[in-house]
Structure 1
Amino acid sequence: MSELNYNQAMSRLETILAELEEGKKSVDELSELVKEAAELVKTCRNKLKTTEEDIQKAFDGA
């Protein structure tokens, strides 16, 4: 998966959620979507953590 920014990852997660809610995917497709969603969640968490650390450093340095 190429490096996505936070908004792109969230948008893809929303798309995956909509696809899952439709309930028209095969078990294999569901498995792949869940794996992709897990990676996207990890990406988002990492970006949020990095941002939080950057903000904390900015305030600590002020």
Structure 2
Amino acid sequence: MTDDAPTAPGYQDALAELDEILRELEGSDVDVDRLADRVERASELIALCRDKISSARVRIRQVTTDLDAGAAAEPS
């Protein structure tokens, strides 16, 4: 059995796609038929980026907590 679900883009890929959408929306020839879809996709990408930043924050906090605990446990 194969997993056909698309994988979420990485942070850099999401930012690049957001940049592309922004340029498209700022252009004078915005395709109104696609406008709602593009804004919806931008919203999804923003949420994904926020989740990745939040996850990184948690991981960094855990690493620094572990480092602090290790330093406190070392004999002087």
Q: Sequence identity of aligned pairs in percent?
A: 31
- Is residue 24 from structure 1 mapped to residue 29 from structure 2 by the alignment? yes
Q: Which residue of 2 aligns with 1:55?
A: 60
Give every structure 1 segment of 4 or more consecutive aligned residues whose post-TM-superposition deviation is greater than 4 Å. none
TM-score (norm 1): 0.91
In structure 1, list runs of 5 or more residues that go unmatched: none
1:31-50 to 2 correspondence within 5 Å?
A: 31-50=36-55
Larger radius of gyration: 2
The two structures have a TM-score, normalised by structure 2, of 0.76
In the other structure, the counterpart of 1:3 is 8
Structure 2 residue aligned with 1:15: 20
Superposition CA RMSD, Å? 1.2
